[in-house]
Amino acid sequence: MKILVPVKRVVDYNVKVRVKSDGTGVDIANVKMSMNPFDEIAVEEAVRLKEKGVATEIIAVSCGDAKCQETLRTAMAIGADRGILVETTEELQPLAVAKLLKALVEKEQPQLVILGKQAIDDDANQTGQMLAALADLPQATFASKVEVSADKVSVTREVDGGLETISLSLPAVITTDLRLNEPRYVTLPNIMKAKKKQLDTVKPEDLGVDVKPRLKTLKVSEPPKRGAGIKVPDVATLVDKLKNEAKVI
């Protein structure tokens, strides 16, 4: 079984992002970048499936500029066998990424595509669903447990009412939730081995995909600062304020 794992380079989750003074976006100059945490979970799950003998090859894919090679090397250090960089300087939106991934799915013919449910920069939660629709593949989103057997995959997914277990025919698309696994610590020997693994670079034109943005960001602004809270002497005062001042009850 061949598994395709898309990974995205985003601002590290520990970094407090700053909005540019002109409001055109987030300032990423001299900011630590890393792999999207949900994608890291996807890579870990693919590696675990390979360790169980279910998968034979894991291909990590990233779309973006040349710096995305670092993210692919991290994926290969976790356990991916090779990487593909779709290199472009265009601003990539979910639909464009889904089209690029569809072209790669047609080229590589993986039995499983595992990707994070969303990226922590735009929180779009769209790419996996769009890919499944474009490639006409069954999908399971928000997976918290994945079990592969023969030509089927059973996925336990997190929904508002609790857990739902569904069965999909392969090939399929799965998006990962936080509780699926805990990614392993990347060791130095594996980082060194990853430098020798195959990393191919293609352009969107090579895949026949137009990646020009369809949406335009009008303005990015900081969330409003929260006002200071107050202490109330008793429950009666709290209820009175909630009813007459906040008018929430």
Give pLDDT tens digits for 116-131: 999 998 899 999 999 9
**What token pair was written down for 116?**
């994070």
Give pLDDT tens digits for 44-90: 999 999 999 999 999 999 999 999 999 999 999 999 999 999 999 98
Alpha helices in 52-178 (DSSP H): 68-78, 94-108, 127-135
CA distance to 13, 59, 174, 223, per residue, from 46 (Å):
22, 9, 11, 36
Distance CA 159, CA 162 (A): 5
Among 194, 212, 216, 200, CA closest to 87: 200
pTM of the prediction? 0.85
Q: Given a cut of 90, is residue 27 above it in pLDDT?
A: no
- % of residues, the chain, pLDDT over 70: 100
Q: Does domain 2-244 have CATH number 3.40.50.620?
A: yes
Domain spans of the chain, in order of start: 2-244
Q: So what's the pLDDT on residue 170?
A: 92
